[in-house]
A and B are shown apart, each in its own frame.
Chain A
């Protein structure tokens, strides 16, 4: 159930001094933030670590949080975005990491801190969405600023003004970044339409039909 903004504002204020309130905020937004980070990284174990960092930083800094009339989740998304960007800066790009693990080991390397079946199930969930995975395969080749806006706008279904709030940019800048990002994404897709093995991908974004097909993801 969605909280109205005033109720959320009160909850955030309580969370500055009451751990139970912070727990409620955590429960409310964990899945959204985890989903966002997973979509940015494509790796469950990495996403777990980055989400842990995100919420710990939120806990550390919640006293400094100032209500600005938008959802608390925007702040969490911003922290998570910074975490993902820092992750990419300090490590090699994750591109093809899933495939590389399969090629190298024949299985997904489990995180010691998470039950293996959870990792496998979650990774399978990502794998099943072949179309999404294909787009993500191209997306991670773009610079961070384009990854951010495209992921938030299209994968998280955020409105332009919401993306602007999360990233601390003006709506005009977001529109511009989106336009340029999609342009670059299209160029990548045109030059390499199949970054992964994807014989079961149905949606053809080059289709000339008037009504783009609804993706059916892995089912022909």
Chain B
């Protein structure tokens, strides 16, 4: 076969014609919603861009600590009829703008740790007919010093919404990851005031999405109703996700004032910072931070 013939055959190659109306619809709705917010939020976007270099991956760090997938039975949120569907869509619209304003690397990292494309997930939420705003919630961080750990002092045992949305405290599985007590404390601080939305996804599962103060999704909970013998459990991010990230305090890098505004965890994917990313190195990072502060 000569290359001319291959050219000819390629020109006659029939590629599949594809249509994806459901995705098109969801994306269209979300885009047009974000379009409105994009225009109304321009000053805020400018602020975002100003601070963007200072908080790269911060949202990802929060997310990786908060992401939980819950398999639950009888997990029913309380009705709060005073909260309108439109209000919920407004929050999602803000989140779409917030996500759109993130630096590309941060948005990608956020998607990686959430395990979904953020835009797609928000579009799905926006388009859900039963989307509603449940209220502000603090995300509880349960910190349990580990009695058996020999390589690190403690671990965060689990996270869950505190109360008020019908969720009993879960019996969470421990994070397969070690955090210092100081890091857990900062984590708690970041987990306050998350705006929680709820909707039913295409598979019929209840999804709760927590939008953080910076307008980015920080938690996404999928509730799967199973047989009556199901046990309520919570699983945080996969070990692979956690292992691929490190938590770091930004305080030594910025002024105190900036730090107060931006104080948060952030995570750096492994490939971006191989040297500092080793299992069980949070203590080292913490000690590095301490020394640099001095």
Contacts and interface: CB of A to CB of B under 8 A. Distances in A.
Interface stretch (A66-74, A98-106, A109-117): A109-117
Contacts of A11: none
A129 B20 contact: no
B18 A31 contact: yes
A78 interface: no
A131 B7 contact: no
Interface string B111-129: 1000011011101100000
B117 A115 contact: no
A172 interface: no
Contact of B100 (A26, A49, A59): A59
10 contacts: A34-B18, A34-B23, A44-B20, A113-B123, A116-B203, A122-B18, A129-B14, A135-B10, A135-B13, A182-B10
A220 interface: no
A19 B32 contact: yes
Given A60-B38, A125-B18, A183 B3 contact: yes
A216 to B, nearest CB: 9
B27 A51 contact: yes
Interface residues of A, number: 55
B7 A118 contact: no
Interface string A199-216: 000010111000010110
A interface, over-half SS: helix
Contacts of B24: 27, 30-31, 34
A186 interface: yes
A52 interface: yes
Interface of B: 1, 3, 5-20, 22-24, 26-28, 31-32, 34-36, 38, 96, 100, 104, 108, 111, 116-117, 119-121, 123-124, 201-203, 222
A59 B14 CA distance: 32
B20 A214 contact: no
A190 B3 CA distance: 11
A34 B24 CA distance: 9
A118 to B, nearest CB: 5
A53 interface: yes
A108 to B, nearest CB: 14
Nearest to A183: B3
Contacts of A182: 3, 6-7, 10
Contacts of B96: 56
Given A19-B35, A34-B20, A114 B202 contact: yes
B85 to A, nearest CB: 20
Interface in A131-183: 131-132, 135, 150, 154-155, 179, 182-183
Nearest to B96: A56
Contacts of A53: 117, 119
Contact of B20 (A48, A154, A179, A203): A48
A132 to B, nearest CB: 5
A120 interface: no
B276 to A, nearest CB: 20
A35 interface: yes
Given A90-B108, A122-B20, A215-B14, A30 B9 contact: no
A53 B12 CA distance: 31
Nearest to A211: B8
A41 B285 CA distance: 39
